[in-house]
Structure 1
């Protein structure tokens, strides 16, 4: 089952790399006159003007959620790398940390990209969406794929008896919310 762990690490690295590239690059919007703009600055030919903090609220929200997604993605990547040698750090399962961080990174990147998409209006005759915007959106499903792959990996680096599909179903069962029904013989919690 090491192939699942290796594949999860690869997807985690790829999604984190795409998210960082989208966050740092300035080709979110490309204009016909060869100018481009991103989350941090606007460039016209060879001259760039940095935005700083004087931007609209949706740009701040996009930046914030992409940064949170980047941190969660980094946690997921390093947890998956650590899962090759350890199953737990103290009482924390590395596998569950990686799965949770991957899904959080995916949700944060989806919120950021949706915010930018919903608020930014591009006039097709003057500008179009740039490649930075595209790879930002690409990171969202890749983080979700990473979470599924991480969920399917065995908890222990030496565990190999269970199939990937049963591990995935077992993982989903652990993350399900309790239905709220009182079990027979259980005491109510306060």
Structure 2
């Protein structure tokens, strides 16, 4: 069971890292013909980037919020999984159950964020020839990895439960 717990820790770290990179980078959408790419915080053309400020749609604010909530839940999952090697409970709370719940919450927050972005910008990609970028792909990958982390964490054994 230690191997599964170690794998869960690794998956948790990788998922969290992918979500952080997705949030921080500006390649959620790209148009290589016009050399334009955009992220959640700024848009760039020919390496000249400008921040959005508060002038973005509510959908972008929602995507940002759910990615940030997913990051917090992912961090709780990672810390809990790392702590599960030496402790089984924090007070009356099982660390295993906390890590499992946090992993699934992080995954679902990521899914909501990525689905919102997909729904808002899928028409733009069809009509204007832009493509979803690699940052967008990292966000979807983190969703899948958080779900795998939750399943791995669920199947880690604990002698005191």
**Length-normalised TM-score, structure 1:** 0.80
RMSD: 1.5
1:82 matched residue in structure 2: 83
> Residue 87 of structure 2 aligns to a residue in which SS?
coil
Question: Deviation above 4 Å: which 4+ runs of structure 1?
Answer: none
Matched, 1:135 2:138: yes
Higher gyration radius (CA): 1
> Residue 108 of structure 2 aligns to a residue in which SS?
helix
1:3 matched residue in structure 2: 3
2:13 matched residue in structure 1: 13
1:163 matched residue in structure 2: none
Question: Displacement of 1:123 after TM fit?
Answer: 3.7
Cα separation, partners in 2 of 1:124 and 1:13, compared to 1, 3 Å: farther
Structure 2 unaligned regions, length at least 5: none
1:129-165 deviation per Cα after TM superposition (whole angstroms, max 9, x unaligned): 1000011011111100000000000125xx7xxxxxx
Aligned length: 158
**Length-normalised TM-score, structure 2:** 0.94
1:54 matched residue in structure 2: 55
In the alignment, the residues of structure 2 paired with residue 91 and residue 71 of structure 1 have an alpha-carbon distance, to the nearest angstrom, of 22
More relative contact order in 1 or in 2 (CA 8 Å, sep 6+)? 2
In the alignment, the residues of structure 2 paired with residue 152 and residue 46 of structure 1 have an alpha-carbon distance, to the nearest angstrom, of 46
In the alignment, the residues of structure 1 paired with residue 126 and residue 148 of structure 2 have an alpha-carbon distance, to the nearest angstrom, of 33
In the alignment, the residues of structure 2 paired with residue 54 and residue 124 of structure 1 have an alpha-carbon distance, to the nearest angstrom, of 23
